[in-house]
Amino acid sequence: MRKSGRDVLDGKNVRKMQIGDIPVGGTLKRTAEGIEVHIWEDRTSPEALAALEEGTRAKAIRSITFSAPILRNQHFIPIGVLGSGYLYFFKLFGYGWAFQSHLDIVREQIMNPGSPILSVRHRARVSRGPHDIQVGIAEFPSELALFAMLGDDMVFYPGATTAKGFYDRLPASYRTMPPKLHSFLGNPDVDSLNLGLIMGARALIYPNQVPGGIGELSMLYAETPAHELRLLRRITDVQRRQHEANPTAFQRVTISLPDS
């Protein structure tokens, strides 16, 4: 219940408190006599206050419940989100993405959660984020990044064509310079066909192996006009015949691949 002098009953840690089955805003404090309960009337509904008064009068209240973070390993949470997002991108784009060299530093951090390998700029705190993993592209004024968000934590990954020093170029404060987020949710039925993800003329994800080796990659893709975010997929034989019969069925994109 205690770690490094911090008490789980500290008011900063207590969340979602209920007295009996009545949700209240308040805090707890440990004293020599026991535990004091403080109810914030301005953060508790009139109905809850009335029910609390009635329950106290009838001596019907038997319990207090609340949630609190696990303080011991709290600093590992962003690394857990980093790993969850990495695995979700792996699910969508496979080994061809997951083992590319520009992600070496990300994999090293995931494998060594107790070591500060990445700059603290690799993560940001958000307010009431999604309960399920959400991934996509984060657009900064002069940088594009892949992102993953889960709960109150958001983490960033370099894109395939991102220059070295990516994390050092991210903002020192995301509160003053929040990124514009373009969420990308894959379709489980076609995940195995995903090859790349481009934003405008920038490739954030590109195939690791292409015919002819490193250079320029030309590929057909289904147009996804929102935010200029386009998902490159390996087209099926049926789609290829559709394109041969109607060249406007799909768009062709050419991107330059990095040397490594």
Terminal C-alpha separation, the chain:
49
Q: What is the pLDDT, as a whole number, of residue 260?
A: 43
Residues 6+ apart with CB under 8 A from 25: 17, 39, 40, 42, 43, 44
Q: For 121-136, how does the pLDDT look when each residue is reduced to its tens digit (9 = 90+)?
A: 899 888 766 677 888 8
Residuewise pLDDT in 10s, the chain (260 residues) = 444 455 656 655 666 778 888 888 877 777 888 778 888 888 888 898 898 888 888 888 878 887 766 656 777 888 999 999 999 888 888 887 888 888 999 999 999 998 989 988 899 888 766 677 888 889 998 889 999 988 888 999 999 888 888 999 998 888 778 898 888 755 444 444 577 787 777 778 877 654 444 444 445 454 444 456 777 766 667 777 777 787 766 665 555 555 54
Provide the pLDDT for residue 6: 58
Domain ranges of the chain: 2-67, 74-256
199 close to 154: Cβ distance less than 8 angstroms: no
pLDDT of residue 255: 53
